[in-house]
Structure 1
Amino acid sequence: MRRAARSFGAVASVYAAARPGYPPEAVEWLVGDAGRVLDLGAGTGRLTEALVELDRDVVAVDPVEEMLEELEIRVPGVPRILGTAEDLPVEDDSVDAVVAGQAWHWFQRERAVPEIARVLRRGGVLGLVWNRRDTSPDWLRAAGEIMHDRLDPSAAFASSVRVGGPFGPVESHRVEWVQRMSRARFLDLVRSRSPWLTAPPDEQRTVLAAVETLLVTHPDVAGADELAVPYVTYCFRTVRG
């Protein structure tokens, strides 16, 4: 986790610009009518921004200072707290919902779950969400192979999530949507992903060059001014007993 945090901090501005947001339908499903929401592992504020747009009172927690600085640019005025899921600097019974976007797989579950339960009010919701690219288009399947999608630590959590007591059964929901982006932004997306961030410099250069070549040679996208990137947003929620 510490190595990953350092890696993400080094490219916080790229992460902020490249990563996809979350569709309102998914965010509304996650938090229901919860008023005060803690965004855990908030990063640069993609999920925070979506919550603010739904008029929720949000507190953002992240272990990387550079990420929180980018969050302040994206969502000015949201309270930012430097902290981790395993040691939350938040008062007991103080929030109606805790959410984590693209982050649960980094947490130490046996330590994080009791901390989340501590800060949640009884009947509060824990909502977990991941964006995954839909690789059914051939060019995205090929890009995923180059980008080592199989090494993405979030992949195992897109189909099922375990939480445990004092939380109840886990419900799931999925939303399909499309994001349009420039070629430059797609390359930034490559640079923002953990398999690329933790790779040696030579491998990073090789991956980027291969993706650039794909974008100018694959018949589905060669010559396109804009790329249509389909996503599936996987949502999970459970209620604190």
Structure 2
Amino acid sequence: MDQDEHRLHASSFGAAAVAYAEHRPDYARAAVRWALRPAPGPRVLDLGAGTGKLTAALVALGAEVVAVEPDPAMLTELRRSLPAVRALPGGAEAIPLPDASVDAVLAGNAMHWFDMAVAGPEIARVLAPGGVLAGLWNVMDDRAEWVARLARVSGSAAVGPRDTSASWRAETAYTHLPKDGTATRFGAPEQAGFPHGQRRTADSLVATLATRAGVLVMPRRERETTLDRIRAFLASRPETAHGEFTLPMLTGVLRVRRL
């Protein structure tokens, strides 16, 4: 993906902010706890916070959370659902916080949008010594045969290589961490995956996949064709054709310490 396409995908979510808030899954609580475990204190920045899916989990665990999100529509949804949370406009490349002001920086399904050449020093700047940087990704568990087939039927725009359990490690391990000189400010990366699931119907799963960046930027006719193909597949499967089902997922975590 070239830089222009990357920017287009990264900026696509605001138009679907309400649907994103309704249909995107939360994060496995055990995954959030693991991400935070080495942090030296309770102050957490949710960076690229979107509509607050990860923010809500952090609040539930008792963290002192500041949320930063660049898209105004996503930020509006976050403030609506979590009015007590301090929520600021900003991005990973220009974080509106003082030096060493947080003990952990977490990013839920967002780190792959950061320009780490710029964001890496910014994250290091706001982290206290010994602080934690962690990316969390909700991925479909394609060890289930029907989920693996759904991924193939959906196409990479709706279910990309980072969105399935078989490949998220390779896609995230070393491609979305601070590089070059900034890398010396962080320790060795650690990864872990935590079982998760989301109750869906065929319609609500289609609505979830429709909030993926690759689908949001499609021309209307192509988007409709893609979603119709997914709908037909779900209608053909005994696991998904009738009523509610659990979409098998993992919350994958990539974690590094600030040196």
TM bucket normalised to smaller: over 0.9
Of residues 152, 156, 161 in structure 2, which corresponds to 1:145?
Answer: 152
Q: CA deviation at 1:182?
A: 2.3
TM-score by length of 1: 0.93
Q: CA deviation at 1:19?
A: 0.8
Q: CA deviation at 1:65?
A: 0.7
Q: Distance in 2 between matches of 1:127 and 1:238?
A: 6
Q: CA deviation at 1:104?
A: 0.9
Q: Secondary structure of 1:146's match?
A: helix
- Larger mean CA deviation between 168-177 and 132-141 belongs to 132-141
Residue 129 of structure 1: aligned partner: 136
Q: CA deviation at 1:144?
A: 1.4
Gaps of 5+ in 2: 1-5
1:236 aligns with 2:236: no
Q: Secondary structure of 2:188's match?
A: coil
Q: Distance in 1 between matches of 2:162 and 2:47?
A: 16
- Larger mean CA deviation between 80-89 and 41-50 belongs to 80-89
- Larger mean CA deviation between 156-165 and 119-128 belongs to 156-165
- Is contact 1:87–1:115 with CA below 8 Å preserved after alignment? yes
Which residue identity lines up with residue 16 of structure 1 in the other structure? A
Q: Distance in 2 between matches of 1:137 and 1:152?
A: 17
- Is contact 2:9–2:214 with CA below 8 Å preserved after alignment? no
Gaps of 5+ in 1: none
Q: How does 1:152-231 map to 2 (within 5 A)?
A: 152=160, 154=162, 158-159=169-170, 160-161=173-174, 162-163=177-178, 164-222=183-241, 224-231=242-249
Residue 121 of structure 2: aligned partner: 114
Q: Deviations over 1:181-201 (max 9, x none)?
A: 222221111111111112111
Which residue identity lines up with residue 9 of structure 2 in the other structure? A
Q: CA deviation at 1:157?
A: 5.1
Q: Distance in 1 between matches of 2:84 and 2:42?
A: 17
- Larger mean CA deviation between 163-172 and 135-144 belongs to 135-144
1:9 aligns with 2:14: yes
1:91 aligns with 2:98: yes
Q: Secondary structure of 1:225's match?
A: coil
Q: Secondary structure of 1:86's match?
A: coil
- Is contact 1:9–1:65 with CA below 8 Å preserved after alignment? yes
- Larger mean CA deviation between 58-67 and 139-148 belongs to 139-148
CA-based RMSD:
1.8
After the TM superposition, list the runs of 4 or more consecutive aligned residues in structure 1 that deviate by more than 4 angstroms: none
Q: CA deviation at 1:153?
A: 6.9
Q: How does 1:10-29 map to 2 (within 5 A)?
A: 10-29=15-34
Question: Identity of counterpart residues, as a percentage?
Answer: 39
- Is contact 1:17–1:185 with CA below 8 Å preserved after alignment? no
Q: Distance in 1 between matches of 2:131 and 2:239?
A: 45
Residues matched between the structures, number: 240
Q: Distance in 1 between matches of 2:206 and 2:138?
A: 17
Q: Secondary structure of 1:123's match?
A: strand
Q: Deviations over 1:22-59 (max 9, x none)?
A: 11110011012530100000001010000000011101
Residue 3 of structure 2: aligned partner: none
Of residues 39, 42, 61 in structure 1, which corresponds to 2:49?
Answer: 42
- Larger mean CA deviation between 109-118 and 24-33 belongs to 24-33
Q: CA deviation at 1:232?
A: 1.3
- Larger mean CA deviation between 206-215 and 158-167 belongs to 158-167
Q: 1:153 to 1:93 in 2, by over 3 A?
A: farther
Residue 84 of structure 2: aligned partner: 77
